[in-house]
Amino acid sequence: MNILILGGGGREHALAWAIRQNPKCDRLIVAPGNAGIANVAECADLDILSRADVLEFAQENAIDFVVIGPEAPLAAGVSDALRDAGFLVFGPSQAAAQLEASKAFTKEICDACGAPTAAWARFTDAASARDYVTAQGGPIVVKADGLAAGKGVTVAETVAQAHEAIDAIFDGEFGEMSVVIEEFMAGEEASFFILCDGTDCLPIGTAQDHKRVGDGDTGPNTGGMGAYSPAPILTEALQDQVMARIVRPTVAEMAARGMPFQGVLYAGLMIDNGRARLVEYNVRFGDPECQVLMMRLGGQVLDLLLACAEGRLADMSVNWADDHALTVVMASKGYPGSYRKGTPISGLEGLSETSFAMTFHAGTATGNGQVIATGGRVLACTGRGATLAEAHQRAYAQVDAIDWPEGFCRRDIGWRAL
């Protein structure tokens, strides 16, 4: 098969690495890719938000299957254009992608199908939002109602912090957006990943992300500083509860509205006293959760994604090894605020690239014959082992072998489980 993956981050490197292991994969192209992806696939300079450009590229390269990695092309309707032209696609329609693109839409779906989530309200002006927060008090959660690259959520401890977050959103920090304000939910967060083909659902793994930038879960929220899989808190009984009360009702409601969901549903959950409530949905694999899932799943991922795209999930099962994976994100100093781009990274050529230790590239490029950092989150050093401690050791051994003075990482990834 000729396979095209859209995206150029750590998630897409992990997907490419896993898909490449499947013998069904003959030619693999990733657009735009990055310096690490170039080692496992062809990279193509392509505007992945342009329906016309992606469609033309897929036709010219006789693509059999398109896997859409990030959320932005999904929200732009790239999957619709490809499907309308007869291509096999993994990723939801533009309408179904509203489950991530609009916080208010997701809340309305949850209300309609009875899925447990936080109490909420939506505001289109700052004054009303500030008045609501003042009446409710803190802690409280303020969300930009749209795509904000993982940075549009503020867990405000105080009313003043919530007011500041509201003002930033209405001042256009993430573009023109309304605000969703939610009840603060106490508990432990975990991520649950489910493939959906519009009708059937297949759970494919759990993970726990580390959103705060600093050790001990301190500092501002980020797109994710590390993750591990599986998440012990998501027991089989709890997974069954989430499927019955949250995921399957959501998928049924989406189908009833004429926008069946086909792709991966990433359910961010808050777990407290043995009960799970939905924090948010994403409509693509998380980053860096994708890295730990792909390390554990390997080449079978392509078969699962194909079955999802073809509506055959009822016939599929996931073959799990009894193992663990952990990934550590190396980011540019200053992230999630401002940071320097173009800083050189050394030591990558000496790292092992096996099914037990792999460094996935997120924000890298090649310049002057060396790998340079081009983003905030730059590398994801990932280890796998029979125990989480073994996976932890393998991940941090890669971190310690990399020479990048302008980079930093958290040293406590996996601390809850370890």
Q: Which residue type is seen at 259?
A: M
- Dihedral sign for Cα atoms in the order 30, 35, 39, 44: positive
Calculate mean pLDDT across residues 266-295: 96
Q: For residue 220, what pLDDT is reported?
A: 87
Q: What's the pTM?
A: 0.93
For 346, half-sphere exposure in the C-beta direction (CA atoms, 13 angstrom radius) is 2
**Using CA of residue 319, residue 320, residue 322, residue 325, what is the dihedral sign?**
positive
Segment 316-327 mean pLDDT: 95
Question: If one looks up domain 324-408 in CATH, what number appears?
Answer: 3.90.600.10
- CA separation for the pair 204, 121 (Å, rounded): 32
In the chain, what are the helix, strand and coil shares in percent, each to the nearest 5?
A: 30, 30, 35
Q: Helix crossing, 10-20 with 300-310: angle to 10°?
A: 100
pLDDT at 268: 95
- Express each pLDDT in 341-370 by its tens digit: 999 999 999 898 999 999 999 999 998 889
Q: How confident is the model over 178-193, as a mean pLDDT?
A: 93
- What confidence score (pLDDT) does residue 245 get? 97
Nearest Cα to Cα of residue 416 among 153, 217, 204? 217
Domain spans, the chain: 2-91, 125-177, 188-315, 324-408
Residue 330 has pLDDT above 80, yes or no: yes
CATH number of 2-91: 3.40.50.20
Q: In the predicted model, is pLDDT for residue 151 greater than 70? A: no
- What residues pair up with 249 in beta bridges, in sequence order? none
Q: What is the residue-averaged pLDDT of the chain?
A: 95
User: 10-69, pLDDT tens digit by residue?
Assistant: 999 999 999 999 999 999 999 999 999 999 999 999 999 999 999 999 999 999 999 999
Is the separation of the CB atoms in 117 and 332 below 8 Å? Answer: no
Structural class in CATH, domain 188-315:
alpha beta
* CATH of the domain spanning 125-177: 3.30.1490.20
**DSSP letter string, 117-174:** B--EEEESSHHHHHHHHHHH-SSEEEEESS--TT--EEEESSHHHHHHHHHHHHTTBT
* pLDDT exceeds 80 at position 146: no
Same fold, 125-177 and 188-315: no
CB count in 10 Å sphere of residue 300: 17
Residue 49 Cα distances to 45, 273, 290, angstroms: 12, 42, 21
